[in-house]
Structure 1
C-alpha cells in the first residue's frame, strides 16, 4: 500500500530519457548510504527499458549479501527512505522459491521510486534483471507489454489493484523471457 503522500492514481506515460539520469542520481545516494552492503545497484523495472511506457516511478534494485532487515532498514532510514510494511514487500516467489526482500519508498517529497533490496544470488534478483534485459532486447514483447500496461492503467487506476492484476501477466511475460534467456545464453550482470 502506498504511504499517504503517494496517493496519485496510476498513470502510464511514454518513455522518458531522463529516467536513466534520475536513476543514476538515486543510485549514487543509495550506494553511499549502503556502503559495502550494496554489491550492485541496478536500474530495473519498466523505466529501465528504453522505449517502454511506464509509471513515472524509478525502480532500483540493490543486491546485498543477504537480507539483514534491522541493519538495512536503519541504513536507508538514515537518509529518509521508508520500509514498506506489506507482506508482498517482504517476500516473493521466484524460481519456485520464496525469496526475502525489502522494499522502500522515497523520503517524503523525494523523487518517486521503489528501492528493492534482494540477496545478490537469489532468484528474485535474477528475475528483475531478466525482465529488464528481455524487454530491452525484444521489440515486439516491449510493444505488447506497453500496450497491456496502458490498458490496465486506463481501467484500474488504483495502484494496489493495478499491481495485483499485473502479477499473473508478468508471469506469462517471464515464460517468454526464460525461453529467450535459454536461447541466447543470457546471464545476469555481475555484482560490483
Structure 2
C-alpha cells in the first residue's frame, strides 16, 4: 500500500528516461553515508536500471547488506526521512524458489519516487534483482517484450496492487529465460 503522499501518482508506464541513472545516483548518495559500513553495495536495479526499457517512473535501489538487522537499519534510514513499508510482502519474497528476507523503504515525503530494497548480500533475492537487470540490458528482444507487456498491463488494471499481483508470475517466467542466459554467458553477480 502506498503511503498517503504517494497515492497521487497514477499507474503509468513511461518510455525509458535518460535521467534515471543520475536520479539513482542522487538517492544512493543519501543512503551510503546514512548506512555507513552496513551497506556492502548500492545497486540500481529494476526496470529504470535498464536503458531502453519502459517503466513506472519509480527508481528501484537495492542496498546489499551483510545482515538485515532492523534495529540498525530502520533508525538510520528514518533519520534521513526514508519510511519502512509495513506490508508483509515488503518483508519477504521468494526468488528462484528460495525465501529471502528484505526490507523496503519509501522515500521521504516530497522526494524523488523510489523504492529502496535492503537484501542480504549473496542471497537469492539479491542475485535475482541483479540478474533481472543484467539480462534485460543484454537481451533486446526480451527487453522490448517486457516493456510492451508492462505497458499493456498498466493500461488494463486499475491499481498498483493489481499490477503487481499480475506482474509477479510473469516476472518468474521472464526470469526462467534469464537463468538460461546466465548459464550460457557464465553470468555472475558483480
- Which of the five TM-score ranges fits, normalised by the shorter chain? over 0.9
Listed as ranges, the gaps of 5+ residues in structure 2 are none
* 2:153 paired with 1:149: no
Alpha-carbon contact 1:39-1:65 (below 8 Å) kept: yes
Cross-structure match for 2:27:
26
> Secondary structure in 2 aligned to 1:15?
coil
Aligned to 1:78: 79
Tell me how far apart the structure 2 counterparts of residues 96 and 155 of structure 1 sit (CA, whole Å). 29
* Equivalent residue, structure 2, for 1:5: 5
What TM-score, normalized by structure 2, do the two folds share?
0.98
The answer to whether the 8 A contact 1:54-1:146 is kept is: yes
1:161 shift after superposition: 1.0
After TM superposition, give the deviation of residue 157 of structure 1 in Å. Answer: 3.3
- TM-score normalised by length of structure 1: 0.97
**In structure 1, what is the equivalent of residue 92 of structure 2?**
91
**Secondary structure in 2 matching 1:55:** coil
Runs of 4+ displaced beyond 3 Å:
none
Please state whether the residue corresponding to 1:5 is helix, strand or coil. Answer: helix
Structure 1 residue 97: Cα displacement: 1.7
Q: Deviation of residue 9 (structure 1)?
A: 2.1
Cα distance in 1 for residues equivalent to 2:70 and 2:156: 36
Count of residue pairs the alignment pairs up: 189
5+ residue gaps, structure 1: none
Pairing of 1:104-183 with structure 2 (within 5 A): 104-183=105-184
Which SS does the other structure have where 1:12 is aligned? coil
State the superposition RMSD in angstroms. Answer: 0.6
Mapped partners of 1:157, 1:44: distance in 2: 25
Q: Are 1:103 and 2:104 matched, yes or no?
A: yes
2:4 counterpart SS class: coil
Tell me by how many angstroms 1:3 deviates.
Answer: 0.5
